[in-house]
């Protein structure tokens, strides 16, 4: 089946109204539910097409917000793909986004091909670029970090108590006391953009150089250092070449 045949004809027609398509092929990598395609135009430019299908209007509007956000982030880092077009389909069930295609392979698949020194340089550059996009501050309407985290902590405690999730032999009073004594330290903390999925699989590498940052679906507004609490979710072989050297780019 031709790639365009996997796209509903009316949606494909909408896409053709926004870009001159010469060739289209599916992109199967990645963990999101979005359908992705590599578009080649008649002028031989290459773009990434992302199609989100859902009946949830909040998800669709969130995709449009991400379009605006990516263009703002591109002012801070040239490695953020610039979005060319984004719209909600006429039937209001699809969000279609077309943005710059970053040439190269993702780091998860390609890092091992390079020497330790090159891997180090890639990781160091990743840290520098992360620091750049952390310059984008959170919307003024967002609740403070202190208020958000305090509410979350209290909600967790309430659920644990209600569901009797803590074994009786486990004394959590010292933990609660420590949090109570130190929670004020989260007051007046700066909140910035966070990619929230920043690891080798979402970094594009081309000829030993970091050339792109992709997949912004999970972004959040947090402190600049919250990302370091995510180390535990990545394989050790990837952490050694991404998180550790990234410290130098953020410090």
Per-residue confidence (pLDDT) for residue 32, from 0 to 100: 77
Average pLDDT of span 148-173: 92
Sign (positive or negative) of CA dihedral 94, 97, 98, 101: negative
Examine the pLDDT at 51 and tell me if it is beyond 60: yes
pTM: 0.83
Same domain, 164 and 82: no
Same domain, 150 and 214: no
| Each residue's pLDDT tens digit, 59-99 | 999 999 999 999 999 999 999 999 899 999 999 999 999 99
Burial class (CB in 10 A: 0-12, 13-18, 19+), 54: middle
CATH of the domain at 7: 3.30.200.20
Same domain, 123 and 36: no
160/19 Cα distance (integer angstroms): 53
Same domain, 38 and 92: yes
| Each residue's pLDDT tens digit, 210-242 | 999 999 988 999 998 887 776 655 555 555 555
71/76 Cα distance (integer angstroms): 9
Per-residue confidence (pLDDT) for residue 197, from 0 to 100: 86
Same domain, 123 and 227: yes
Burial class (CB in 10 A: 0-12, 13-18, 19+), 156: exposed
Same domain, 81 and 130: no
CB 73 within 8 A of CB 58: no
Per-residue confidence (pLDDT) for residue 249, from 0 to 100: 45
Question: Among 43-47, 141-145, 246-250, which stretch is predicted with the lowest mean pLDDT?
Answer: 246-250
Per-residue confidence (pLDDT) for residue 245, from 0 to 100: 45
Q: How many residues can be counted in the chain? A: 251
Q: Total domain count for the chain?
A: 3
CATH of the domain at 220: 1.10.510
Q: CA neighbours within 13 Å on the CB side: how many for 191?
A: 19
Query: What Cα–Cα distance (Å) separates residue 9 from each residue in 6, 70, 239?
Result: 9, 28, 43
Per-residue confidence (pLDDT) for residue 247, from 0 to 100: 43
Average pLDDT of span 124-133: 92
Same domain, 152 and 49: no
Examine the pLDDT at 205 and tell me if it is beyond 70: yes
Same domain, 96 and 174: no
Per-residue confidence (pLDDT) for residue 248, from 0 to 100: 43
Examine the pLDDT at 130 and tell me if it is beyond 50: yes
Q: Which domain holds residue 62?
A: 3-100
Examine the pLDDT at 251 and tell me if it is beyond 50: no
């Amino acid at each position: 089946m031709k790639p365009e045949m996997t796209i509903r004809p009316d949606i494909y027609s909408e896409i053709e109204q926004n870009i001159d398509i010469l060739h289209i092929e599916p992109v199967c990598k990645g963990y999101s539910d979005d359908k992705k395609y590599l578009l080649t135009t008649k002028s031989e430019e290459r773009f990434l097409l992302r199609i989100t299908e859902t009946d949830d209007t909040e998800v669709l509007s969130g995709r449009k917000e991400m379009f605006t956000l990516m263009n703002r982030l591109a002012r801070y880092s040239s490695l953020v793909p610039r979005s060319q077009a984004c719209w909600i389909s006429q039937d209001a069930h699809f969000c279609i986004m077309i943005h710059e295609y970053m040439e190269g392979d993702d780091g998860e698949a390609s890092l091992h091909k390079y020497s330790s020194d090159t891997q180090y340089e890639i990781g160091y550059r990743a840290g520098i670029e992360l620091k750049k996009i952390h310059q984008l501050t959170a919307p003024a309407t967002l609740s403070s970090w202190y208020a958000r985290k305090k509410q979350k902590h209290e909600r967790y405690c309430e659920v644990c108590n209600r569901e009797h999730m803590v074994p009786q032999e486990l004394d959590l009073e010292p933990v609660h006391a420590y949090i109570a004594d130190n929670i004020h330290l989260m007051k007046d903390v700066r909140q910035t953009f966070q990619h929230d999925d920043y690891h080798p699989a979402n970094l594009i590498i081309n000829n030993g150089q970091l050339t792109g940052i992709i997949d912004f679906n999970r972004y959040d507004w947090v402190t600049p250092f919250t990302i370091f609490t995510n180390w535990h979710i990545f394989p050790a072989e990837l952490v050694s070449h991404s998180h550790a050297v990234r410290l130098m780019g953020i410090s």
